[in-house]
């Protein structure tokens, strides 16, 4: 898929999310895309692809669970290449976390079905942005990091320094550590898959 096609899809996604998301979530998606571009320039990744993945990652977040589930049921073939990934299987098999996290796979299915996006790295980045795993492509890691550390969120004081100095894998581990810390601080249950991922990364 070339630059022009990605740029055209990005314009259409932007129109859709401006019209359908709350202003706060729309701003979060734009901010995630902007951080993804900065990191893509740092790490030599296709910035148009990262921007589109960052922009669209939460485009189904405000649909009902049933609507999100329908997208995955109807257009799951778009992300069939991800089936068998332990992170995605964990997401689908735990009913509690599925309700919170299925908006990622749903957005990947919508991006593929409605907008014609077929790039595996972009679909993977969108589908797995809420769960994460060690096998993720560089674009997927960048979108995961950007979603969690974009400046409209409340963040640790050293985030900007980390975003500009750590290498990609170190930044990925740092981001997961932030997520674990935030859930602990808020006394919210962390998904068992993320808890295991963090334990594996500390070894
Ligand atoms: Fe999300
Ligand atoms: Fe997000």
Tens of each residue's pLDDT in the chain, 203 residues: 677 799 999 999 999 999 999 999 999 999 999 999 999 999 999 999 999 999 999 999 999 999 999 999 999 999 999 999 999 999 999 998 999 999 999 999 999 999 999 999 999 999 999 999 999 999 999 999 999 999 999 888 899 999 999 999 999 999 999 999 999 999 998 889 999 999 998 87
- The three-state secondary structure class of 190 is coil
Q: What pLDDT is attached to residue 203?
A: 79
Dihedral sign, Cα of residue 48, residue 26, residue 24, residue 90: negative
1 C-beta neighbours (distance < 10 Å), count: 13
Query: For residue 57, how far is its CA from the centre of ligand 2 (angstroms)?
Result: 6
Query: For residue 58, how far is its CA from the centre of ligand 2 (angstroms)?
Result: 5
Ligand positioned closest to the Cα atom of 24: 2
Ligand positioned closest to the Cα atom of 150: 2
Q: What pLDDT is attached to residue 201?
A: 87
CA distance 98 to 92: 5
Q: What pLDDT is attached to residue 134?
A: 93
Query: For residue 59, how far is its CA from the centre of ligand 1 (angstroms)?
Result: 8
Ligand positioned closest to the Cα atom of 25: 2
> Got the DSSP string for 124-165?
HHHHTTTT--TT--HHHHHHHHHHHH-TTS---TTHHHHHHH
Retrieve residue 119's tokens.
């790039």
Domains of the chain and any CATH numbers? 3-202 (1.10.3210.10)
86 C-beta neighbours (distance < 10 Å), count: 14
**E strands within the chain?**
none
For residue 186, CA distances in Å to 32, 179, 190 come to: 22, 11, 10
Ligand positioned closest to the Cα atom of 54: 2
Q: What pLDDT is attached to residue 1?
A: 67
CB of 84 within 8 A of CB of 114? Answer: no
Query: For residue 93, how far is its CA from the centre of ligand 2 (angstroms)?
Result: 22
Retrieve residue 163's tokens.
């975003």
CB of 51 within 8 A of CB of 10? Answer: yes
CB of 110 within 8 A of CB of 71? Answer: yes
Query: For residue 119, how far is its CA from the centre of ligand 1 (angstroms)?
Result: 20
């Amino acid at each position: 898929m070339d630059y022009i096609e990605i740029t055209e899809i990005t314009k259409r996604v932007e129109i859709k999310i401006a019209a359908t998301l709350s202003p706060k979530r729309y701003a979060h998606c734009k901010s995630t895309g902007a951080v993804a571009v900065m990191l893509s320039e740092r790490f030599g990744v296709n910035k148009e692809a990262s921007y589109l993945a960052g922009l669209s990652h939460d485009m189904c977040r405000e649909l009902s669970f049933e609507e999100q589930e329908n997208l995955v049921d109807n257009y799951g073939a778009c992300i069939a290449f991800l089936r068998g990934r332990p992170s995605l299987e964990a997401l689908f098999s735990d009913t509690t976390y599925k309700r919170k996290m299925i908006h990622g796979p749903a957005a990947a299915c919508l991006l593929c079905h409605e907008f014609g996006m077929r790039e595996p790295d972009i679909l993977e980045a969108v589908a797995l942005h809420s769960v994460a795993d060690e096998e993720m492509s560089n674009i997927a890691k960048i979108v995961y990091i950007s979603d969690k550390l974009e400046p409209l969120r409340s963040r640790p004081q050293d985030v900007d320094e980390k975003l500009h100095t750590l290498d990609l894998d170190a930044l990925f581990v740092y981001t997961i550590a932030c997520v674990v810390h935030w859930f602990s601080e808020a006394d919210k249950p962390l998904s068992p898959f993320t808890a295991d991922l963090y334990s594996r990364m500390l070894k």
